[in-house]
Chain A
């Protein structure tokens, strides 16, 4: 069975689901919501089947290299999005998780998809526990990131008649920076990655795929979306009011996603990682770059949880910390592997 084809089918489902959710919001057709959700579910189920086949054929869980890790994380993000919204329809979030999954799969396709046997260091049941739990945590952080982005988007689309204080102005500036800066930062990050890959003979074709498959489509889509939002800002404002919870509601949802993801990431990514490192390398902590960046991720989300307890910090600033947290998570996943070498160089 061609597993890659199933993954491609799954991605096509996500693209159609995204179109469905977008039509649901922009055309104000509630009848489109459930079919879009069903298509997204079809994509997730197809991806899960493909992962199961890959696991069966390789004899180990699909978590042993960059391709497998990213495809698994892509599936987890889509699945987490659907489960998270089971009681509360949030088409904007669901559309976001579809985009996130497709982009993650796009980046995964840069890496070789060959099934290889496990190297000695990875032959441990801790691989299942450590990586899979950490990925579930990261998928929930991705949900929090999308919700935080939507929070900022809502903030700039909502006009208040009251006179703005300095703090409001700063918050608005931060929201603008995030709403416009995030897609640009993604494109810049991918361009850096392409430039880095172009210097490696083994990635000779990959960087071209990255440019034509990810960077150019993402740039064009971002530009078109920004133009459309600017041109139809009145309609978008109404859509936001209708399809997104209020700021307080979004803030609580962000907290919920992080409150669910933080313990899973901490136990899976840090504690199980420590136990495994102790078993494999004789020490539970060695300040390896991947370990250190996992700790940094933990610290950033710890700051989020503490800041949220402090009075007057809810809202924009906590959303900003959630966004920084996810960027750190992504750097831990990609940046450390490409820019900083260490013991985790295999994945």
Chain B
């Protein structure tokens, strides 16, 4: 026990722990975090297994990192206790515990430069005479500085404790909504269940990667299902709902009216709690809103196209047109499709689904991608299903000036031409609850005050020793270099000497 106490109280242990924490933090930024196990094996064939077994794929929640934090916390507690003892001694009984030998050992000391005035003792707040008859006189200032180190370490401990509370009890998730949507917000217990289910699912995926028959997997599956059902129940009877009334963007404009950047993403929302509805509130970046157990932050913004308007022409020579009874005179037709929503027009024997829509279509490395959210080169993929639900054909819809490309891919009796689509916005709001935050802020405040006290408040002890033979020694010491106190020493010296008498010859 004594050895353990010795280890934790040692400054060297603290230095080693901070060093290990530094190295682990560096590794956490160099090793990609929270990927699937297979990805680590693929990227790092030699050390992938080691990364996974040490938990470095999720460094800041890994056992080595947490152990290091716990040990540092214990070391900090022992440091606080040890410091308190010495600080208390300095604060409460500095004069009583000081000896003439200790004071005379300070290098910056010197004798008083002349005969002292009669009432010299009035210059000192406390005086005592030791067993050898030496009068020890003391003035102190900046005592608060002595508490700085304590405040720093208590503050650090509170930050760590607050962080720990946040890890176990806090939740963070994102909710998304478009204009007119009302999104249910699950109670805290349900959101915690979803968070735990995600964590277990990731662990299960990693285990499955290496041993698909691992007996733990069944238990984990049951746990995940149970947690998912808690979350579903939470959504079914939500804590409250959020209505997205209005979403809009404010832009910076150049003098010629050109848009030169986004100034602000804004969501106007209402909270609906049972029968009660809150007043509409505006949420924007750096301007969060709190309701119930949660605080909502404008964290992401998405522009998307839900509905696309197209012109449809009949082309008789396409392969799928055989055996179809279609009246050519009914065309062209106008068709409006919502993404992923099946729709069967009267004039068509097929049901259409817009499987994908890309506002800024490009082919990069043989992959079809959208390079922006702007309607620069729109393309919609239309899939047709027959009455049996079998895919009857696929076709791309492009704007009229690019329709030559559509001919290469369509195998339907229809040609689709893009007409228009209105952009809609989706607001992503970070929803957070962290009961550890007040403790963290208090810790930060203490840490800051501690640093101000330690580094910026000078602590000063002004000593005078008067020996029985009449010799004197004047010393000023503290938490600054002795050079800083040179002027104060001179001033105190002047205050002590008798101005009427000449100084003794050297």
Contact, CB under 8 Å: A280 / B25:
no
Say if the beta carbon of B139 comes within 8 Å of chain A: no
Partner of B430, one of A252, A282, A302: A282
Residues of B within 8 A of A116 (CB): 260-261
Contact, CB under 8 Å: A120 / B285:
yes
Say if the beta carbon of B481 comes within 8 Å of chain A: yes
Contact, CB under 8 Å: B299 / A281:
yes
Cα of A126 to Cα of B286 in the assembled complex, Å: 10
Pick from A41-49, A77-85, A223-231, A293-301 the stretch touching chain B.
A293-301
Partner of B451, one of A262, A293, A336: A262
Say if the beta carbon of B448 comes within 8 Å of chain A: yes
Residues of A within 8 A of B30 (CB): 340
Contact, CB under 8 Å: B288 / A303:
no
Interface size on A, residues (CB 8 A): 42
Complex interface bits, A68-92 against B, C-beta within 8 A gives 1, otherwise 0: 0000000000000000000000000
Contact, CB under 8 Å: A282 / B431:
yes
Cα of A260 to Cα of B12 in the assembled complex, Å: 24
Partner of A279, one of B288, B452, B456: B288
From known contacts A281-B430, A309-B11, infer whether A259 and B18 are also in contact, taking CB-CB under 8 Å: no
Cα of A282 to Cα of B299 in the assembled complex, Å: 8
Residues of A within 8 A of B14 (CB): 306
Say if the beta carbon of A271 comes within 8 Å of chain B: yes
Contact, CB under 8 Å: B260 / A296:
no
Say if the beta carbon of B264 comes within 8 Å of chain A: yes
Say if the beta carbon of A274 comes within 8 Å of chain B: yes
Question: Which residue of chain B is the closest to A263 with respect to CB atoms?
Answer: B451
Contact, CB under 8 Å: A295 / B25:
yes
A201 CB to closest chain B CB (Å) equals 15
Interface size on B, residues (CB 8 A): 48
Say if the beta carbon of A204 comes within 8 Å of chain B: no
Say if the beta carbon of A209 comes within 8 Å of chain B: no
Say if the beta carbon of A285 comes within 8 Å of chain B: yes
Cα of A274 to Cα of B288 in the assembled complex, Å: 15
A302 CB to closest chain B CB (Å) equals 6
From known contacts A267-B448, A299-B22, A310-B15, infer whether A280 and B263 are also in contact, taking CB-CB under 8 Å: no
How many residue pairs link A and B with beta carbons under 8 A? The number is: 106
From known contacts A117-B252, A120-B263, infer whether A279 and B286 are also in contact, taking CB-CB under 8 Å: yes
Instruction: Count chain B CB atoms within 10 A of each CB in A300, A306, A309 and give the residue with the most.
Output: A306
Contact, CB under 8 Å: A117 / B432:
no
Contact, CB under 8 Å: B451 / A267:
yes
Contact, CB under 8 Å: A266 / B22:
no
Residues of A within 8 A of B285 (CB): 120-121, 123, 280
B149 CB to closest chain A CB (Å) equals 10
Complex interface bits, B283-298 against A, C-beta within 8 A gives 1, otherwise 0: 0111010000001110
Q: Which of B7-23 touch A at CB < 8 Å?
A: 11-12, 14-15, 18-19, 21-22
Contact, CB under 8 Å: B437 / A284:
yes
Contact, CB under 8 Å: A282 / B28:
no
Contact, CB under 8 Å: B447 / A296:
no
Taking Cβ atoms with an 8 Å cutoff, the residues of B that contact A are 11-12, 14-15, 18-19, 21-22, 25-26, 28-30, 33, 59-60, 163, 172, 252, 260-265, 284-286, 288, 295-297, 299, 430-432, 434, 437, 440-441, 444, 447-448, 451-452, 455-456, 481
The 5 A-B residue pairs with the shortest CB-CB distance in the complex, in nearest-first order: A282-B430, A263-B451, A282-B297, A120-B285, A282-B432
Residue contacts A-B, CB under 8 angstroms, 23 given = A120-B262, A120-B286, A123-B263, A123-B286, A263-B448, A263-B452, A263-B455, A266-B447, A271-B444, A275-B444, A278-B437, A280-B286, A280-B297, A282-B172, A282-B299, A282-B431, A287-B28, A296-B25, A299-B18, A303-B22, A306-B15, A306-B18, A336-B29
Taking Cβ atoms with an 8 Å cutoff, the residues of A that contact B are 116-117, 119-121, 123-124, 126, 252, 259-260, 262-263, 266-267, 271, 274-275, 278-285, 287, 289, 292-293, 295-296, 299-300, 302-303, 306-307, 309-310, 336, 340
Q: A126-B286, A260-B455, A271-B448 are in contact. List 10 more A-B contacts (CB 8 A).
A: A119-B262, A266-B447, A280-B297, A284-B437, A284-B440, A287-B59, A292-B25, A296-B26, A300-B22, A303-B18
